[in-house]
Amino acid sequence: MSINKKKEQGFIDTPKKKLYERLVSLESYSYTIISFNVYYGVKIAAYLYNLIQGLIPLSSIRFLISVFFGYFVARALMKIAFYIDPKKEWVIEVIACFDFLILGVVLRVHDHIGDWKQVYEDLIFASFITFLSYWLIKNFVRVVRSKTKKASLDHIIATLNQNITARKEKIAELEQETTKVNHLLDTKNKKVAEAKQELAKIYQEIKDITCVHCGLRWKNKKARVAHESKCIKNPNKKITNDGAN
């Protein structure tokens, strides 16, 4: 089987990206964000599960409500990361603050008030996770915005290249039309020149057989010359009979 045949049937794949290229790609970053959203959803679910314990005693119902709410909040966070306005990035800071407080509740820091060592450890862990989450979302917003701008610029460049190609084709068509028109003009100019030459020739032939004194036309130049010497209107020769036919 030839290489081209294999390519047509999909047996030959395109060269794979190197490891570092895959690690720094937007696809890899997206998987990281998805993993973070799973963690975030679980954290919100755990927070809500403890929060509504007094309202919904039945654990199974409380679990389902918590899971769906955690999923909803995680999806909302992803949408914010994708579509946040550059002028409203302060929302990410606000989310980080609430994230820190929620994580403190999930870790039940308030139950460890007497044990300051445990409180200290809980706060360090909550601060680290919050800081990591904040910069992950912040950087993801920056990467998405950069990729979006690049895609927009690539689209603009592609459109401009298409316009340039179309204009070049139009210019080539106009040049072809101009060449055709010039060719027609050259042909017509040649015909006009030939017609002028023919007219000049006819005019010269008429002049050769026409008497310059009386305007009579003769059969040929020799007869016209013979007549002019005897023409009655010739001021140099006063002849009564001109001998004209």
**Higher model confidence: residue 71 or residue 234?**
71
Q: Give yes or no for residue 18 having a pLDDT over 80.
A: no
Q: Give yes or no for residue 209 having a pLDDT over 90.
A: no
76: CB partners within 8 A, 6+ apart: none
Express as a percent the part of the chain with pLDDT over 70.
Answer: 85
pLDDT of residue 169: 92
pLDDT digits (tens, 9 = 90+) for 120-139: 888 888 888 888 888 888 88
> CA-to-CA distance for 6 and 49, rounded, in angstroms?
56
What is the sign of the dihedral through the CA atoms of 47, 53, 58 and 61? negative
pLDDT of residue 1: 44
pLDDT of residue 9: 53
pLDDT digits (tens, 9 = 90+) for 152-201: 888 899 999 999 999 999 999 999 999 999 999 988 988 888 888 888 88
pLDDT of residue 17: 66
**Higher model confidence: residue 245 or residue 118?**
118
pLDDT of residue 245: 41
First to last CA, the chain: 100
Burial of 195-229, coded b for 16+ CB within 10 Å and e otherwise, reads: eeeeeeeeeeeeeebbbebeebebeeeebbeebbe
**pLDDT, mean of residues 68-79:** 83
pLDDT digits (tens, 9 = 90+) for 33-47: 788 788 888 888 888
Quickly list H helices, the chain.
Answer: 3-9, 19-23, 26-51, 59-83, 90-106, 116-209, 221-228
**pLDDT, mean of residues 90-111:** 82
pLDDT digits (tens, 9 = 90+) for 19-33: 656 666 667 777 777
